[in-house]
Amino acid sequence: MEQIANQVIFGLLALVIVVCSILTVTTRRILRAATYLLFVLFATAGIYFQLDFTFLGAVQLAVYAGGIVVLFVFSILLTSHPGDKAQLLTPKKRVVGLIASIFGAIVCGYTLLTYPFFTKPLTSVITGEIDMKEIGHALMGMEKFQYLLPFEAISVLLLACIIGGIMIARKR
Q: Which of 11, 8, 39 is nearest to 23 (CA)?
A: 39
- Alpha-carbon distances of 63 from 56, 67, 83, 112, 122, rounded to whole Å: 10, 5, 28, 30, 28
Residue count, binding to another protein (CB under 8 A): 86
Number of other residues whose CB lies within 10 A of the CB of residue 1: 5
Shortest distance, CB of residue 133 to another protein, whole angstroms? 13
Does the protein bind another protein through residue 7 (CB under 8 A)? Answer: yes
Q: Is 152 in the site for another protein (CB under 8 A)?
A: no
Other beta carbons within 10 angstroms of residue 36's beta carbon come to 20
Is residue 53 involved in binding another protein (CB under 8 A)? yes
Instruction: Write the CB contacts of 38 (distance below 8 Å, at least 6 apart in sequence).
Output: 65, 69
In the complex, least distance from residue 45 CB atom to another protein, rounded to whole angstroms: 10
Determine, following the binding rule CB under 8 A, whether residue 37 of this chain makes contact with another protein: yes
Tell me the closest approach of the beta carbon of residue 82 to another protein, in angstroms: 15
CB 84 within 8 A of CB 96: no
Q: Is residue 168 involved in binding another protein (CB under 8 A)?
A: yes
The reply on whether position 39 binds another protein by CB under 8 A is no
> Of 3 and 82, which has the nearer Cβ to another protein?
3
Q: Does 54 bind another protein (CB under 8 A)?
A: no
